[in-house]
Amino acid sequence: MNKPQIPNLPLPAPLVGSDAGSFTEFTVTQRMPDIARRVIRENSFTSEINQSLEKLALELPSGYLQPLTNDSGVDFNDWEKYLEPYKNQRWVDVPWFFAETYFYRLILNITNYFQSEKWQGVDPFLLQKEQGLEASIDPIISLCTQVQEWLDESIKAGKPSKSSLIALLYFALWGNRVDLSLWSAFEDDRSSFNIQTQLSNILVDESFAVTKLLTKYPNNRIDFVVDNAGFELICDLCLVDFLLGSGFANQVYLHLKPHPTFVSDAMIKDVHYTQDFLEQCSHPQVQALGQRLTQNLTSGRLVLTEDYFWTSPLTFWEIPKSLTDELGKSNLIVVKGDANYRRLLGDRYWNFTTKFADIVSYLPAPMVALRTLKSEVAAGLKAEVLEELAIADPKWLTNGQWGVIQLVD
């Protein structure tokens, strides 16, 4: 597939923390310092580590990027290259996506995540990830029970149900609302929502086109660029279970983060933790989904993979050839969440009515983005929708109440 290697259009400016009054400014100057201080509260690191975390929190609003000391991380040399253009700049003056990805990598540098000593491999966000799952047990039971019913119906009908697939796309979309970098697992439980009442909050809904694409060919391979652990991962795993069990897909790859980042982004270890959580649950339908997950992993129908590109500050169109070649084997790439969506658009100020496919013109396979809006980046929206939103909900870009299901075929 000869696709252009970058978007078809001139690139607008990137979001930066010095954009006065923006959510980006609020994130860099207030939310990210709070996230660093929460790492102190939720772990038992040494006073030296905690002092360095506090220093990081203090420097974000008006201070300068600190260098990355060589911590034996396999990505250290890459980060040396990424940092070069931004050395001696302020956190608020560098592109937000760079600032945020570097911020999380710096936290691991400070907590010695990569060093072969006491703190090696300690996930600074583990407590929040695990609480996220425990807090969502009721909707988890409901969803697993529903998936079983939809699977039974599809098997009885002898063909996969498109309406069930669409419903599970909606669950995967709204599961992204529970994102721990924004809300704790317990703040007015965002995992209990009714997907039917949320239909009007989907600004672009190309879910039916996704079902048509997946019924075009048999034995599809589907690749998920995964986002958050916790309830969102449960929603994704339920969608994966249905795709594999109903016959929409023959194989699914989950592309996961190689180290902790963005507080709740899922790693391979988080999938295994979720697998154990499901299998050990007392509810039979939850247990059954966990057992099918184990069977699919054992048989190779479900593959877990990780790559340092997913924790890099690079835009999606800067993806390494190895990953392009891998994703090129897919019949559909499912890109989950807000940060991955920002990476698709290079975290830049595109006109919101810019055609989505004119920006995301570089992928080697069809792609659908399932994203709840939590940042001031958007594309592919109709002018009349924008006019209504400005009146209906001035915070529509960042409050996680609105979503898109956008397909580039």
Ligand X SMILES: O=P(O)(O)OC[C@@]1(O)O[C@H](CO)[C@@H](O)[C@@H]1O
Applying CB under 6 A, the residues found at the interface with ligand X are: 27, 100, 176, 179, 181-182, 227-228, 262, 337-339, 374-375
Q: Are 271 and 230 in contact (CB under 8 A)?
A: no
CA angle 112, 113, 119 (to 5 degrees): 70
**Is the Cβ of residue 251 or residue 375 nearer to ligand X in the bound state?**
375
Q: Which residues contact residue 95 at a Cβ distance below 8 angstroms, ignoring those fewer than 6 apart?
A: 14, 15, 16, 313, 347
**Is the Cβ of residue 245 or residue 260 nearer to ligand X in the bound state?**
260
Q: Are 281 and 287 in contact (CB under 8 A)?
A: yes
Q: Are 362 and 5 in contact (CB under 8 A)?
A: yes
262: tokens are 């963005």
Question: Please, what is the minimum distance in Å from the beta carbon of residue 371 to ligand X?
Answer: 7
CA nearest neighbour of 107 among 1, 295, 259: 259
Residue with tokens 């207030």: 30
**Is the Cβ of residue 221 or residue 336 nearer to ligand X in the bound state?**
336
Question: Please, what is the minimum distance in Å from the beta carbon of residue 215 to ligand X?
Answer: 29
Mind giving me the DSSP string for 317-343?
Answer: GG--HHHHHHHTT-SEEEEESHHHHHH
**Is the Cβ of residue 176 or residue 330 nearer to ligand X in the bound state?**
176
**Is the Cβ of residue 204 or residue 244 nearer to ligand X in the bound state?**
204
Question: Please, what is the minimum distance in Å from the beta carbon of residue 230 to ligand X?
Answer: 10
**Is the Cβ of residue 221 or residue 374 nearer to ligand X in the bound state?**
374
Phi, psi of 91 (to 5 degrees): -55, -40
**Strands annotated E in 183-339:** 202-205, 220-225, 249-256, 302-306, 332-336
**Is the Cβ of residue 223 or residue 347 nearer to ligand X in the bound state?**
347
263: tokens are 């507080």
CA nearest neighbour of 49 among 128, 91, 101, 108: 108
Residue 306 and residue 315: Cα distance in Å, rounded? 17
Question: Please, what is the minimum distance in Å from the beta carbon of residue 175 to ligand X?
Answer: 10
Question: Please, what is the minimum distance in Å from the beta carbon of residue 313 to ligand X?
Answer: 12
Question: Please, what is the minimum distance in Å from the beta carbon of residue 264 to ligand X?
Answer: 6
**Is the Cβ of residue 270 or residue 338 nearer to ligand X in the bound state?**
338
Q: Are 57 and 33 in contact (CB under 8 A)?
A: yes
Question: Please, what is the minimum distance in Å from the beta carbon of residue 234 to ligand X?
Answer: 15
Question: Please, what is the minimum distance in Å from the beta carbon of residue 43 to ligand X?
Answer: 20
